[in-house]
């Protein structure tokens, strides 16, 4: 299923190995080398057979990581050396995953490269909350946006376009920009009462969920999350989690 000299970008899902596709698992088993991100769950890495070379090219916000260009080169060189290359990425490789850079590097070098999809963080978060991301008449649009900024730069998003009360907004890499997000959306007309869910380490044993409202988001982001990857879901469809909110807050009160 994977020939020597070929590269597959494989979605590892949000962390829980049960959320891996069967195809991803087959590819991992058929590889001779696996390059993986910091976001790939430990349970997923456990599925990599012992004879397969496992190389961390870790990338986590604000921490030391290999440059994207170095990763591109590693993939190309491994394929040119005749390896069966799997590039394992958290969630879905095609969503905020730098997949284009890696595919372009491979194609430019004449290397066949393919994608295997994965469950993206927003889908896993919705499952974990028991809340749909879309809802007839209430949330007709689903927007995936990244709030990642380079160090020292201000978040520059088109708030007018994002401030649609009939949309659900899934914000990736948004923890550090929570304040700017709340301000930007409220200034563009979204009500402070708009429900917001913050989820950290979705699908892993360390998962944390927090339901709040837009005007309280900055406070919640500061006080309710640790240093794991976190996603924000903003939108009316999350109001069905009101009951969950009470439960979650109760769970988080000190015993």
CB of 199 to ligand SAH, least distance (A): 5
Alpha-carbon 121 to chain mean position = 4
Query: What are the C-alpha distances in Å from 35 to residues 25, 45, 88, 184, 186?
Result: 14, 11, 6, 37, 41
Q: Does 235 bind ligand SAH (CB under 6 A)?
A: no
CB of 50 to ligand SAH, least distance (A): 26
Which residue in 48, 45, 116, 109 sits closest to 81, CA to CA?
A: 109
Q: Does 126 bind ligand SAH (CB under 6 A)?
A: no
Q: Measured between alpha carbons, how far is 169 from 227 in angstroms, rounded to an integer?
A: 22
Do residues 188 and 160 lie in contact, with contact meaning Cβ atoms separated by under 8 Å? Answer: yes
**Sheet-wide strand order for 33-36:** 53-56, 33-36, 85-89, 7-11, 113-116
Q: What is the DSSP string of 1-43?
A: ---TT-EEEEE-BSS-GGGS-HHHHHHHHH-SEEEE-TTS-HH
Q: Does 157 bind ligand SAH (CB under 6 A)?
A: no
Binding span for ligand SAH by CB under 6 A among 49-57, 67-75, 86-94, 130-138: 86-94
Query: Scanning residues 39 to 78, which ones bind ligand SAH (CB under 6 A)?
Result: 39
The only residue of 2, 180, 231, 234 in contact with ligand SAH, by rule CB under 6 A:
231
The only residue of 121, 131, 139, 197 in contact with ligand SAH, by rule CB under 6 A:
121
Question: Which are the catalytic amino acids?
Answer: 37, 59, 173
Which pair of structure tokens corresponds to residue 66? 């290999």
Residue whose Cβ sits closest to ligand SAH: 91
CB of 14 to ligand SAH, least distance (A): 4
The only residue of 8, 35, 159, 172 in contact with ligand SAH, by rule CB under 6 A:
172
Q: Does 201 bind ligand SAH (CB under 6 A)?
A: yes
Q: Is 183 exposed, middle or buried (0-12, 13-18, 19+ CB in 10 A)?
A: middle
CB of 196 to ligand SAH, least distance (A): 14
CB of 231 to ligand SAH, least distance (A): 4
Q: Does 129 bind ligand SAH (CB under 6 A)?
A: no
Q: Does 102 bind ligand SAH (CB under 6 A)?
A: no
- Strands 113-116 and 7-11 come out as parallel
Residue number, 36 or 172, with CB nearest to ligand SAH: 172
Query: Scanning residues 11 to 30, which ones bind ligand SAH (CB under 6 A)?
Result: 14-15
- Strands 195-200 and 230-234 come out as antiparallel
Which residue in 219, 221, 204, 210 sits closest to 247, CA to CA?
A: 210
Q: Does 91 bind ligand SAH (CB under 6 A)?
A: yes
Residues forming contacts to ligand SAH in the complex (CB under 6 A) are 14-15, 39, 89-92, 95-97, 120-121, 172-173, 199-203, 229-231
């Amino acid at each position: 299923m994977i020939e020597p000299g070929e590269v597959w970008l494989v979605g590892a899902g949000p962390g829980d190995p049960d959320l891996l596709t069967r195809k991803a698992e087959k590819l991992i088993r058929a590889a001779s080398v696996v390059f993986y991100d910091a976001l790939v769950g430990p349970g997923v890495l456990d599925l990599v057979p012992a004879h397969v070379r496992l190389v961390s090219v870790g990338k986590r916000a604000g921490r030391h990581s290999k440059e994207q260009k170095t990763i591109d080169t590693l993939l190309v060189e491994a394929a040119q050396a005749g390896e069966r290359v799997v590039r394992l990425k958290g969630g879905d490789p095609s969503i905020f995953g730098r997949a284009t850079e890696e595919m372009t590097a491979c194609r430019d070098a004449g290397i066949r490269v393919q994608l295997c999809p994965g469950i993206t963080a927003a889908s896993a978060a919705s499952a974990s909350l028991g809340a749909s991301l879309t809802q007839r008449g209430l949330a007709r649009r689903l927007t995936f946006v990244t709030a990642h900024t380079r160090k020292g730069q201000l978040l520059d998003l088109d708030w007018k376009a994002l401030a649609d009360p009939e949309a659900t907004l899934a914000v990736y890499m948004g923890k550090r920009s929570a304040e700017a997000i709340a301000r930007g959306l409220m200034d563009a007309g979204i009500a402070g009462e708009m429900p917001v869910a913050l989820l950290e380490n979705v699908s892993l044993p360390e998962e944390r969920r927090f339901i709040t409202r837009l005007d309280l988001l900055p406070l919640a982001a500061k006080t309710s999350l640790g240093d794991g990857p976190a996603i924000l879901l903003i939108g009316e469809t999350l109001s069905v989690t009101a009951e969950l909110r009470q439960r979650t807050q109760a769970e988080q009160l000190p015993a």
